[in-house]
């Protein structure tokens, strides 16, 4: 009898423990607001006619994240320039502490800071090289991610993002692709960071998207103007490769990335190649740099930190008869991390762009564009 009582008591103990540890559904709202102001001018008369200084609210976003045990779901909606748009919509399963699978409509990892929220990037806008080659765009697909102390690896299968917006019988054959990012990070301690990585991407054009297009805007969202760009109505596929290096010691950090793209075209048309690179030299005044493992890069600095970032970007979209244009951008950005929800930024850019004959840029002629802008961003 004592054995039976003991067994029953043991079972009740296990049941109580299991009940106490039962997974709970946790739902958290999220959102952000970007408030921008900018003074800008262009040396080219045609571009200057469309270059307007002023204020804008480029993004208001609201969403929700739900977690239940090893499962996570996220959905958010953005509003900007009088338009609603769907942002992240995905379901994620955490296999263990180092591996997860995510499926839905989201930003897949390719290159440095590719999956970092735009609210927590080092500057107000993406480097033009990112924009020119489509880095950071959302795609409908599935991604496997492995992240341990020394290594991050991702592998994605995705469909043309038109498949998120239209039915299959409207798009015809949908383009598809594979994408991967591999990072080795031997140093991730506060004030002592180093990683080296590479991104790979191969994409087949869809039946109705053989007119692949790549463009880069001038670095402001107060006025949206295309600086350089190229497009094709005979593209079959494209391939991209992107090595990256990040190093930080104490208060000083350096981030650099190179992207090469090759487009394979139909028939006897020659292939097209383009490339770009950028570097950020960062200085944190009253704190040291830390590392974020799942994004694989320098983490958002501590609250109350001041930061100065000197950056240079160069993008070359000219190849043979196709003159997508060339762009160089020198910039200096000041970031003040007010608290974990708010950042204030002031940024100045001097951009030289021109040589475009594709009709995509605001002007085919040389244009010197300068902008001084500020942003208050709130994220919760």
- At 284 the pLDDT is 97
> Nearest CA to 60 among 87, 89, 33, 88?
33
Q: What is the 3-state secondary structure (H, E, C) of 76-121?
A: EEEEECCEEEEEEEEEEEECCCCEEEEEEEEECCCCCCCCCCHHHC
Q: What angle do CA 142, 291, 107 make, to 5 degrees?
A: 25
With beta carbons less than 8 A apart as the criterion, state whether 293 and 150 touch: no
- Give the count of alpha carbons within 13 A of 69, CB side only: 5
> Which ranges of the chain does DSSP label H, i.e. alpha helix?
2-20, 45-49, 128-132, 168-171
Q: What angle do CA 296, 301, 307 make, to 5 degrees?
A: 115
Torsion of the alpha carbons at 315, 317, 320 and 322, rounded to the nearest 10:
-160
Q: Which segments in the chain show pLDDT lower than 70?
A: 1-21, 119, 161-174, 207-211
Instruction: List domains and CATH numbers for the chain.
Output: 44-73+89-379 (2.40.160.10)
With beta carbons less than 8 A apart as the criterion, state whether 60 and 35 touch: no
Instruction: Specify the pTM.
Output: 0.89
* Other beta carbons less than 10 A from residue 183's beta carbon: 22
Sequence-separated (6 or more) residues with CB below 8 Å from residue 126: 118, 135, 136
CA distance 125 to 119: 10
CA distance 60 to 266: 41
Q: What is the 3-state secondary structure (H, E, C) of 11-48?
A: HHHHHHHHHHCCCCEEEEEEEEEEEEEEEEEECCHHHH
- At 16 the pLDDT is 41
Digit-coded pLDDT (tens) for 286-322 = 999 999 998 899 999 999 999 999 999 999 999 998 9
Q: How far is CA 41 from CA 226, 313, 318, in A?
A: 14, 19, 25
- At 179 the pLDDT is 96
With beta carbons less than 8 A apart as the criterion, state whether 217 and 228 touch: no
Can you say whether residue 296 is alpha, beta or left, with left for phi > 0 and alpha for psi between -120 and 50 degrees?
left
Q: How far is CA 265 from CA 237, 320, 380, in A?
A: 7, 14, 45
Digit-coded pLDDT (tens) for 159-197 = 876 666 666 666 556 678 999 999 999 999 999 999 999
With beta carbons less than 8 A apart as the criterion, state whether 298 and 183 touch: no
């Amino acid at each position: 009898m004592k054995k039976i009582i003991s067994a029953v008591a043991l079972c009740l103990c296990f049941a109580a423990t299991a009940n106490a540890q039962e997974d709970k559904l946790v739902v958290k709202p999220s959102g952000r607001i970007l408030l921008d102001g900018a003074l800008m001018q262009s040396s080219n008369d045609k571009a200057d006619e469309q270059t307007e200084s002023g204020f804008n609210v480029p993004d208001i976003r609201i969403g929700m994240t739900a977690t239940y045990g090893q499962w996570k779901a996220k959905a958010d909606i953005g509003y900007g320039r009088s338009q609603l748009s769907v942002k992240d919509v995905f379901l994620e399963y955490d296999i263990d502490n180092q591996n997860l699978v995510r499926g839905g409509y989201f930003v897949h990892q390719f290159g440095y800071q590719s999956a970092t929220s735009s609210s927590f990037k080092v500057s107000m806008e993406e480097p033009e090289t990112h924009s020119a080659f489509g880095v950071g765009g959302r795609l409908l697909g599935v991604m496997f991610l492995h992240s341990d102390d020394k290594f991050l690896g991702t592998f994605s299968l995705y469909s043309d993002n038109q498949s998120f917006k239209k039915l299959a019988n409207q798009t015809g054959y949908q383009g598809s692709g594979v994408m991967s990012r591999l990072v080795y990070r031997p140093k991730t301690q506060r004030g002592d960071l180093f990683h080296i990585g590479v991104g790979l991407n191969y994409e087949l054009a869809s039946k109705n998207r053989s007119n692949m297009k790549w463009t880069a805007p001038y670095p402001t969202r107060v006025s949206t103007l295309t600086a350089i760009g190229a497009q094709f109505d005979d593209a079959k596929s494209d391939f991209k490769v992107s090595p990256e290096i990040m190093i930080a010691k104490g208060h000083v950090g350096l981030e650099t990335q190179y992207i090469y793209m090759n487009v394979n075209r139909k028939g006897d048309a020659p292939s097209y190649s383009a490339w770009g690179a950028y570097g950020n030299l960062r200085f944190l005044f009253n704190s040291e740099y830390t590392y974020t493992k799942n994004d694989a890069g320098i983490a958002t600095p501590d609250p109350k930190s001041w930061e100065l970032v000197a950056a240079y970007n160069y993008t070359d979209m000219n190849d043979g008869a196709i003159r997508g244009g060339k762009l160089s951008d020198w910039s200096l950005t000041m970031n003040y991390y007010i608290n974990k929800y708010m950042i204030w930024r002031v940024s100045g850019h001097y951009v030289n762009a021109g040589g475009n004959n594709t009709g995509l840029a605001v002007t085919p002629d040389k244009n010197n564009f300068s902008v001084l802008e500020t942003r208050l961003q709130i994220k919760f």
